[in-house]
Amino acid sequence: MKQNKTKIYFNIIISIFFISLLVNVYMSVKENSYKKRIYSKSYSSIQEIWNKNVDANKILEVAVKDGKLKRGELIRLKQTYDVILEKNLSLIDDYTFYSNQEVFNIGSEDNTKNTMLSDSYMKIKPYLSKLIEDNIYSSNEYIYINGRDSICFNKLYDLSKDTNSYYEKLVKNNSEDGTFDGLKSKLSKDKFLNQVYNGLNEINSNYKNVDFSVQDKK
């Protein structure tokens, strides 16, 4: 009788062990799948920010050099920065989410609030919208960049150059094959994602005090 009880207890313990093991395996697989899906979203945002920044940089380089740009190019520039802002906000949301989840070892430093407050792109969007609005009925093919606009466009150009430089160094120092795609394996690691986020945030913060506003017409 005693042996039967011992056997029953043993079977119960073994059953609990295997159930616990199966649950842990299931949770681990689910967690890894979950992290991959979310990291893929962040990777896409980081890549799109660079792609659109390259587009903006090309437009700004010509505009700053010539002191003017076509209205169509201004509209394209505004649309480009709309996407950059959208992807920045998406990345901020992702980072905020990561910071509140135990499964992500994102690090102790959380700059999310600072980024939201200092996000230069939030000021760039209304600035370009107002510039388009002020010139919508102009018969001129070109919009001339002078006065305050000259300062703003030079700062936009500097921001685009700094961002491009950061990405180029990021790829050079971390990519497996010298391309952005070669970063994907590292961007799936929590601390590297944290590094990229803070790197972009630092660049953004350098322009938080720039007055992106259209000069009032007298």
* Boundaries of every domain in the chain: 2-205
Confidence of residue 118 (pLDDT cuts 50, 70, 90): very low
> By the 8 A CB rule, do 201 and 163 touch?
no
Query: What is the C-alpha separation between 13 and 195, in angstroms, rounded?
Result: 45
Indicate the DSSP class of residue 206: T
Give dist(CA 80, CA 51) in Å, integer.
Answer: 10
Decide if pLDDT at 106 tops 50.
no
The model's pTM:
0.77
- pLDDT surpassing 80 at residue 45: yes
* pLDDT classification of 197: cutoffs 50, 70, 90: confident
Name residue, tokens 């009032």.
216
Tokens of 201: 């945030």
Report the distance separating Cα 109 and Cα 73, nearest Å. 39
Q: What string of H, E and C letters represents the secondary structure of 167-194?
A: HHHHHHHHCCCCCHHHHHHHHCCHHHHH
Average pLDDT over every residue of 143-147: 92
Measure the CA–CA gap between 108 and 218, rounded to whole angstroms: 51
Of 215, 216, 205, 214, residue with least CA distance to 121: 205
pLDDT tens digits, 13-42:
776 766 766 666 555 555 555 566 667 788
What is the per-residue burial (b if ≥16 Cβ within 10 Å, else e) of 191-218? eebbbbbbebbeebbebeebebebeeee
